[in-house]
Structure 1
Amino acid sequence: MKSYLDFEKPVAELQAKIAELKALGENDDGVAIEDDVRRLEAKSEQALKELYANLTPWQKTLVARHPNRPHFSDFVRTLIEEFTPLAGDRLYGEDEAIVGGPGRFRGEPVMVIGQEKGADTETRLKHNFGMAKPEGYRKAVRLMEMAERFALPVIALVDTAGAFPGVEAEQRGQAEAIARSTEACLNLTVPNVAVVIGEGGSGGAIALATANTVLMLEHAVYSVISPEGAASILWRDAAKAQEAATNMKITSADLMRLGVVDGVISEPLGGAHRNAGAAIQATGDAIERALARLAELPPEEVRAERRRKFLAIGRSL
């Protein structure tokens, strides 16, 4: 069953009419409905095009959070062969909000790391909605060190509202763990490519996304804080989240213009949740191009280029 966002109401109504006509045609062989269905389908597609060509930053935030949007596990299942997830940080325990391990991307060995939000109640609880604790980031550091040891390029798939804000996470050194993970990204001499596939929230995202090449899906968002969080701090009113989203410049187009990300991956009409296969394929193609360019650089230049990239952000504004 399709799930429509609030702003997609015109499309939902047209789709409901199409479903009614098709049901009528199935129940009454004497009713010719083909022309009406085609007309309504064309109208629905045009409405969808117009909606998605003019999404506000808040609407893009809702699309990025859509429950049917492909998650880390969907990308890995399609793009990575022989994926072997590794568990534990060798210091405290396992955190299933971050999943990672070696595998093969289009025939080449890589290390894949990312946040998994989960697709239903059971898996969302299992993965803590993609919000990692310190042991998750320390696991990411362990995997990056392993990638460095075995000369494996690192692919990071970022999708998190942010690091877990609970008391126990702070007690176990959340800020330090995020900083160490960010440092591990910067120190790699192997290429790393990060893709924001949904939400890129705060330090929880940058801990994996400090990469040579940072890409975003077209309707993903990437920001230092959620719009609701920013509105609560600035105006003490979470209801102003839409205004906050606009002012924070969180969309792929804004971040590309500001030099925060290096490329935007187009999504199928109506968002990745409407055609996950096409979105995943386009993401794989973009990762392949990025890794091919980086493969031509010597190891020390890979690290130097990454550091120059992040030092340059904001300097020309």
Structure 2
Amino acid sequence: MKVPKNPSIRRLFFKPGLVPRFQQRRWAKVQDIRINDARFLATQATQERVFEKYRDKLSRRAKEEGHHDVGSLRKAYEAKIEALKNDASLASKKTLTKNTDETTTQIPFSPPPPPEPQSPKVVAPKTSDVPGVKTLSSFIDLDKTKALPPKEIEYIWRLRHAKDANSLCAVIPGPTYAHLSLLARKHPQFVLPVPREGQGAEIHFLQWTFPHPDTATVLFTQLAEYKLRGEYASPHTTVSLHSELLVPKGLVLAQGNVQDERGMTVEDGRWLLMCLQKFYGPQAGEDGLRRRKLLEQFSNGDSGFSIQELLDEAERF
């Protein structure tokens, strides 16, 4: 199980961390300088820095050669400097031309060949696109089932799970599932009570997951174990809702299992499913408003969430 995003549960496992600070970038002013002007300014600035660095040495050299200042020395060597610049520029152009010719010779350009026509691929049918997730085709023949009327599908589905003492199964009408799915995505975590005679009630944590486009799964775990182990807690009851027949038949088939030796019975699992429908199913009137309020309070980590109100609503018929 993954750690829920619910603020009420998350505080049990995490401590608030430091919020990184980001420095705000200041806007920089952009000068409108043409390319030639920019090159001139950059070259002139570079020359001035070089001149300042070697000012003393140039002054001594000017005196040794009989010049009255550095400017006279620079003027005397001006022709020689220009000749060296021209030689360097010519050598650079020859090297560039040579490299271009070699590249053109070694890697001749040719357009890519047109794509070959491909025959449509035949994809083998899969029972599930996600490893470890069982879809409805893992339990029944979908093609044959789609040809049956809804009443007969319901009968076959219940008969399919009748021999397993720990199994849970249900047939959910399409409109009911639409409401369940909508609230499940909005409130993927919640808690439900299981009454214990002479001991009050035991609180269980539920989590919705959607591992496949046609499958929704509900995991039930004792809240005490979830507090102790967090994401490593093992659910005692798992129920999957399969929606492959939703469009053609208006039905969603649900199947689940209650784990042995976990302190839970099949009757406890059925009670949890009944409570699940109470809070996530379509409810009208004041009952529906109270139950939606409890869902909202739990999802938002509201301190006004009341376990006693939860018990009252779960036992109300």
- TM-score for the superposition, normalised by structure 1: 0.25
Structure of greater Rg = 2
Flag the structure with higher helix content: 1
The higher relative CO (CA closer than 8 Å, separation ≥ 6) is in 2
